[in-house]
Amino acid sequence: MRKKIKKIIQKSVGYYFNALAYVSPKTLEKQGFQLFCNPMAKTIKTHQLQFLEKGKNEILTIESEKIQTYKWGNGSKKIVFIHGWASHSFRWKSYIENLIENDFTVYAFDAPAHGLSTGKMLHVVLYGKAINQMILHNQEIEYIVSHSIGGFATTYWLQHYKNNTKNIKKVVIMGAPGEAKDFFDFYQSILGLSQKAIEIISRSFTKRLGHEPSYFSASKFATDLEKDCLIIHDKNDKDTNPNYSIELNKNWNKSQLILTEGLGHNLKSKNLEQKVIDFILN
């Protein structure tokens, strides 16, 4: 029953957007962009909050939004974790607990519109700005571990903020999408959007972010990156296509690829966690 109701709601939104494409394109530009960039993130649960509060909390500001940051440990090695879509910093709990016992200072932050950060939307450009602010505020950071859109945003940041990447030694990118156009294909499919509606929303995307959706390609961003990188993707990931990580590995000069089976998009396992930590340490 819930699935049927969900489909009815999705199709109703699609009909509404398709109608707006003819009667009020400007309204569609605004509302369509907002929908595409709305993560509808989950509320942090009590036990998750209790863990996050164990870290040192600090607020950064990006485009008037308050970004919640965290810090655990005081080790000599510095690492930051960057979460994915509709997630927050708690996803890294196991890594954090492991690393603070191994001479690491661990940083993380909740993306705009996620976790304890404010905001109503997130896109790669905004996430890139948040990463940049985090790095500038903690310039001793040497390693980055990222997941999903956090990985896409990390690749974007490495390419577009090169002057601020000098201290970064190694990068891990897990289960990342590869093309912004995939978001358009996804919403066109589930909402039943007309081509006219998609073109209008795409136009809004271009106006707001300064580039057409086709510009935002992780594999293109990686072509001249020189950081050591570990790329991880599950072969049966239902949320992001593993072919993007295969292509990213081809274009990234100093990268290696791990394709897992049975871990899905979340890529959570003690064995994989240890491989990530081994890559960072060796």
Query: Does the structure show a pLDDT above 70 at 1?
Result: no
* Sequence spans of domains, the chain: 1-36+180-214, 45-179+216-281
Query: Does the structure show a pLDDT above 90 at 183?
Result: no
Distances (CA, A) of 190 to 10, 114, 167, 279: 7, 23, 42, 38
Q: What is the largest CA-CA distance in the chain?
A: 60
pLDDT > 90: percent of the chain: 91
Q: Find the range with the poorest average confidence among 58-67, 116-125, 186-195, 200-209.
A: 186-195
Q: Please name which of 249, 60, 70, 82 lies closest in space to residue 149, comparing C-alpha atoms.
A: 82
Q: With bands split at pLDDT 50, 70 and 90, how would you rate the model's confidence at 140?
A: very high
* Residue matched to tokens 């990156």: 225
Q: What is the pTM of this model?
A: 0.95
Distances (CA, A) of 251 to 22, 224, 280: 41, 8, 21
Query: Does the structure show a pLDDT above 80 at 247?
Result: yes
Tell me the CATH architecture of domain 45-179+216-281: 3-Layer(aba) Sandwich (3.40)
Query: Does the structure show a pLDDT above 70 at 65?
Result: yes
Do 149 and 177 form a contact (C-beta atoms < 8 A)? yes
pLDDT for 2 equals 65
Distance CA 65, CA 59 (A): 10
**Total Cβ atoms within 10 A of residue 54:** 11
